[in-house]
Structure 1
């Protein structure tokens, strides 16, 4: 099947392009970007021009920042194209619900992707936790924004999510591995004096079984980067590290198998298109929205790249 990529930035070059190239399901047939391109692939700066030139491209993957994404997505759905959304699927929950309704009415597949759920350790972690009594969950997601988003000012603008840009990856794993859903009960959000989105956040969740569930996100971590979820149960402990890529149970490393996060996403998108189905799970984004609603705001030192 032919697919187009819209937004040829770092994540597209690092993950989407190689995943499509290695896929038995997809052929990258066009790109749309103001600056980026992929060698050997027709490139456009206008979405309308690409759609007019390629009526044979039935699916489009959007790799744009969340704020402008809705308008592109709406145009693509109106053009009858199946649509794959990079995380988060929109700047607001209302946008996502609107796109879901549009896609259903147009009869096209819509996939709100959460790449961290496809990390090798996530599915076996979910399976091991199933049926176990959970007592404590501790999420620690700390990284260096200068390393992962160098000079990308948009992450600190309204809609850019701030530290929730990586933190939502942790929330996507959390909502995948816990059999009983949690909801946010409190939060502290740390905003640099010169920024519109938080650079750190501490979250607390209510669990139906009374387990203690918390998360600490920070974008100021230098040196080793930390992406870890630790779960204590009545019958042992589980630890996911490296963003879900590594799993240990009761101190013993488990060797999960997998082909990589983005190849799995594109395989899943192929399944959805062939089945005429959609997958729009907004649980991680709901937690972020709740954090902005409930979070106590604290001002910290200015931050500059």
Structure 2
């Protein structure tokens, strides 16, 4: 496929408008041909549909779709798109359950379409230089602090508090997507504590303890109740001193104080995602890494639940 990939965006919420549409507009590999949403209206006078079934019935020529819906409804939409032979971009998290994602991966193989489970934080500009620097270092420990104000970043998004909505793991999975990328060895959960508001189904905070296959400790602190300065930080202690990733992976500081950057082509999380999606489609392959989702699933399996005060927005 050498012509622009004709793309429809499904689920026109804040992330679609703020991140997806600008990245698509700047990428010559893609041509936005339609938007699909239960709410809102058309973008730039392009065709607009209330659901994927109406898009299919229209007969509009589409090669791929980007799904920006809440995870609870994403599997059915993705399966419908794959049945059309359309390539599918899944916003993070790629599904509400691991089984859903495995089923979609099998469907993509059966239809020959490409499936891309995107992890936007892996495309922050400090992540790949951090991975390269850590590859031949002795790692002694890692600490993740991901604390943000849910009222600022997810105002009015009731789905995030429902079963399958992930709660604080919606941002926390971004941290896990980085850590699973930069650390050289696999790691696994040993204990977890989840703070769940008494009027909600999903946690508002979580404290996690991991060990890697060499016994190195990794600790994570996720909290949706942060006021004032927000924290999206990862510190990896090594035999050469601490490596620090701040601002959600955007700022890397090495022990000597230097601040290396990624290659120019990797700058920008969503431009990087769309460049990767185009490459996957052109190659006729899929890119589906469930490691971050697996750690979240393990936290729900193993975690001790603490009921805390109700959350009222």
Q: Secondary structure at the match of 1:252?
A: coil
Q: Is the 8 A contact 2:123 2:267 kept in 1?
A: no
How far is 1:41 from its partner? 1.7
Q: Among 14, 17, 20, which residue is 1:13 paired with?
A: 17
Alignment of 1:68-87 (within 5 A): 68-87=73-92
Partner of 1:186: 191
RMSD over aligned Cα, in angstroms?
1.0
Partner of 2:45: 40
Question: CA deviation digits over 1:181-225, x for unaligned, max 9?
Answer: 101111000001111110000000011222221000000001111
How far is 1:38 from its partner? 1.6
Range that drifts further, 205-214 or 241-250: 205-214
Range that drifts further, 202-211 or 72-81: 202-211
Q: Is the 8 A contact 1:135 1:210 kept in 2?
A: no
Distance in 2 between residues matched to 1:12 and 1:251, nearest whole Å: 39
TM superposition score normalised by structure 2: 0.95
Range that drifts further, 125-134 or 254-263: 254-263
Q: Secondary structure at the match of 1:84?
A: strand
Distance in 1 between residues matched to 2:189 and 2:293, nearest whole Å: 12
Q: Secondary structure at the match of 1:28?
A: strand
Alignment of 1:166-177 (within 5 A): 166-177=171-182
How far is 1:8 from its partner? 0.4
Q: Among 278, 288, 305, which residue is 2:286 paired with?
A: 278
TM superposition score normalised by structure 1: 0.98
**What is the total number of aligned residue pairs between the two structures?**
305
Q: Secondary structure at the match of 1:30?
A: strand
How far is 1:97 from its partner? 0.3
Distance in 1 between residues matched to 2:87 and 2:238, nearest whole Å: 41
Q: Is the 8 A contact 2:139 2:236 kept in 1?
A: yes
Q: Among 197, 221, 224, which residue is 1:216 paired with?
A: 221
Is 1:238–2:243 an aligned residue pair?
Answer: yes
Q: Is the 8 A contact 2:240 2:255 kept in 1?
A: no
Distance in 2 between residues matched to 1:46 and 1:124, nearest whole Å: 41
Partner of 1:288: 296
Q: Secondary structure at the match of 1:204?
A: strand
Alignment of 1:1-305 (within 5 A): 1-36=5-40, 37-250=42-255, 252-257=257-262, 258-305=266-313
Distance in 1 between residues matched to 2:9 and 2:112, nearest whole Å: 21
Q: Is the 8 A contact 1:134 1:209 kept in 2?
A: no
Q: Secondary structure at the match of 1:186?
A: strand
Q: Secondary structure at the match of 1:64?
A: coil
User: Tell me, which stretches of 5 or more residues in structure 1 are unaligned?
Assistant: none
Distance in 2 between residues matched to 1:251 and 1:89, nearest whole Å: 37
Distance in 2 between residues matched to 1:46 and 1:141, nearest whole Å: 34
Q: Secondary structure at the match of 1:221?
A: coil
Question: CA deviation digits over 1:227-272, x for unaligned, max 9?
Answer: 0000001122100000000000015141414430000100111111
Distance in 1 between residues matched to 2:202 and 2:149, nearest whole Å: 16
